[in-house]
Amino acid sequence: MSRDHDGTAGLVVSGGGTVIVASDELRSQADALMRLSGDLDEVRRLVSAVSHRYGQAWLVALDAPVSAVAADRAAAAALDLIVGCRGEAERVSWMLRTAMHGYGVAEAFSTRLSQQLAARLGHAVGTLLPLAVLLALPVLGGAVVAVALGTLAPGESPGEVLRGVAEWAREHNEVLSDPITVALVRGAMHSSDDVLGGALQLPAELLTLLGDEGAGLTNLSTAATLVVLLGRTAGVLRESGVAVTQSTAAPATAPRSLAGRAARIPRPSAGTGEQIRIDRYSTPGQPDRFEVYVAGTIDFGVVSDEEPWDMTSNITGIAGMPAASPAAVMEAMAQAGITATSPVVLTGYSQGGLVAAVVASSGNYNTQALVTFGAPSGPVQIPSGIPVLAVRHTDDIVPALGGYDTSTQALVVERELFAGVPVPSEEAFPAHQLRHYRETASLIDAAQSPELRATLRHLDEFAGQGAGPAASASMNSARTTVESTTYRARRVG
C-alpha cells in the first residue's frame, strides 16, 4: 500500500461497520470513478438526444446528405466511446472496491488468527507463570518489592523511579515506536486474561469459550480488574472522590475542522491547568448542545495524589471500574447543564479518549458522536448508533495498551507517523504527542474518502458549520452563540 508522509495517501481507513480496509486515496478514487460513470451516462443521454433530434434525417431535409452521413457516424462513434469509457470506469471502480473488500477480509482473518494465537500463547505463559515466580522469588522478590516501593537506592522516591523508567523508554523509543512492537503489545494486552486463566490452571478451551473469541465474558478488563484489586492490597491504584470547580468562561467560536477540535483539547501540566473544556452552542428556539473536550494523562504515578488524570484512573478505566477522571467529567457536564437529553459530542486524547468512551458507554447521555486521538479505549463497548471516529498512529504504543477494539462501528483512521523518517530521540513516545495528532487531524480534514467526509460533515453540522440547507436557514435566522467553560478537577477523600 502506498505511503506518503506528507499527504493523505498515508491514511488507512477501516471499520465503520464494514470489513473494508484501504487508504483514503483508494477509497476516494473508487468513489470518483463511480461519479465519473454517472457523469458519462448523463453525457451519453445528451449526445443521444442531440443525435436523435439533429441527426441524419434532419440534415437530409436541409439538403446536406454528406454532412448527414458524417454527423451520424461521428455521433455513433462518440456514443460508443462514451459507453466504453463509462463501462471501464465502472469496471475499475468495482475492481478497486473488490480489492479493498478482499484486503479487509484478509485483514480481519489475520487479526482474528492473531487474537487466537495470542490467546493460546498467553494461556501457555500463564500456565508456567506460577512455577516461574516460585523459582525466581528468592532471587528477585526483594528487588521487585524495592523497585515497586521506590526504595531500591537510598533516598530514591517513586517519582525518581518513574523518571528512570521514562529515561529508559526515551533511550529505547525507536523500538517502542516500531509498528511491529505496537502490534505485539496489542496482542499481549488482548491475551492478558488468557495469561490470568493459565495461571489459575483453567483449561484453554474454557477460556476460549468465555473470552473475546467466544462469549466475551472475560477480556482485558478482567485482567485489569485483578491488577487493580491486587494493587489496592499493596496501597496503590486506590480511587477517591473528586471535586470539580469552574475555572474560566468566555465567548468562543465553533470548530471548523477536525484539527480545530484537536486544538481545543486541554493541555494541562501536573498540578496546574484545567483538564476539561465544555463548549455550549446556544441557538434561540433550539435546545442547547455541547461539545466536551478531555485532556490526556497528566500524572503517571500509581499512588493517588490530588491529580485524577493519573495511572490509577487509566488502569481502573480499562478495568471498567468507577474511576476518578470519568467521574470528574460527568460532574463537570452536570455543572454545565448537560442533561440526559442534551445533544453532546465527546472528544478526548489519550486517557481523555478513554474517559470520553467511558462516558459515552454509560448510556446516560444523548451522545451524537465520539472522537478519540491515541486512546487505549479498545475494551470499552460503545452503544450501537453512536458514530465513533478513532484516530491512531500505528507507531504509537499507547492505543495498543487497550488491546483490540470491541466495538465494530468505530471508523478507525491510522497513520504511521515516522514512516521512512528517523524517530526523534527527545521523547519516549513521540508518536503519541498531541501536536502530531493535530497534524494527522489536518490530513484527515483534506481526505476525500466518502466515509470520512460523511463523518466530518456530521461533526460540522453539529457545530453549525457546513450544515444542510434547512439547518443553514435556521442558523441564519437565529444566530448561534458559543460559550467555552473550563473545569479543574482534583481528588478528595
Question: How far does CA 262 lie from the centroid of its chain?
Answer: 12
State the Cα angle at 293 between 328 and 270, rounded to 5°. 60
What is the pLDDT at residue 149? 46
d(CA 369, CA 290): 11
Mean pLDDT of 205-217: 64
At residue 49 the predicted structure's pLDDT band, cuts being 50, 70 and 90, is: low
What is the pLDDT at residue 7? 54
Cβ–Cβ under 8 Å, residues 460 and 466:
yes
d(CA 66, CA 333): 80
Cβ–Cβ under 8 Å, residues 231 and 302:
yes
* CA dihedral for 458, 461, 467, 469, sign (positive or negative): positive
Question: How far does CA 74 lie from the centroid of its chain?
Answer: 54
- Residue of 151 and 112 predicted with greater confidence: 112
Question: How far does CA 314 lie from the centroid of its chain?
Answer: 17
pTM: 0.74
Question: How far does CA 38 lie from the centroid of its chain?
Answer: 33
Res 463 pLDDT > 80: yes
Res 413 pLDDT > 80: yes
Cβ–Cβ under 8 Å, residues 402 and 377:
yes
Least confident of 18-32, 227-241, 305-319, 401-415: 18-32
Alpha helical stretches, state H, 244-379: 258-263, 311-318, 324-335, 351-361
| Nearest residue to 447 via CA among 479, 414, 475, 421 | 414
Torsion of CA 255, 256, 259, 262, to 10 degrees: 10
What is the pLDDT at residue 146? 47
What is the pLDDT at residue 468? 40
| Nearest residue to 444 via CA among 360, 372, 355 | 372
- Residue of 214 and 143 predicted with greater confidence: 214
Least confident of 60-74, 287-301, 428-442: 60-74
**3-class secondary-structure state, position 238:** coil
| Nearest residue to 118 via CA among 233, 41, 212 | 212
Across 94-108, 184-198, 262-276, the highest mean pLDDT is recorded for: 262-276
Least confident of 41-55, 301-315, 387-401: 41-55
Res 161 pLDDT > 80: no
On the CB side of 387, CA atoms within 13 Å amount to: 15
The residue length of the chain stands at: 493
Q: Which three cell numbers stand for residue 272?
A: 496546574
What is the pLDDT at residue 300? 85
What is the pLDDT at residue 260? 97
What is the pLDDT at residue 388? 96
What is the pLDDT at residue 200? 62
Burial class (CB within 10 angstroms; exposed 0-12, middle 13-18, buried 19+) of 450: middle
Where would I find the beta strands (DSSP E) of 301-434?
A: 343-349, 366-373, 388-393, 410-415
Where would I find the beta strands (DSSP E) of 173-330?
A: 241-252, 276-282, 289-294
Res 166 pLDDT > 80: no
What is the pLDDT at residue 45? 73
Res 330 pLDDT > 70: yes
Amino acid at 461: E
Mean pLDDT of 278-297: 96
d(CA 326, CA 337): 17
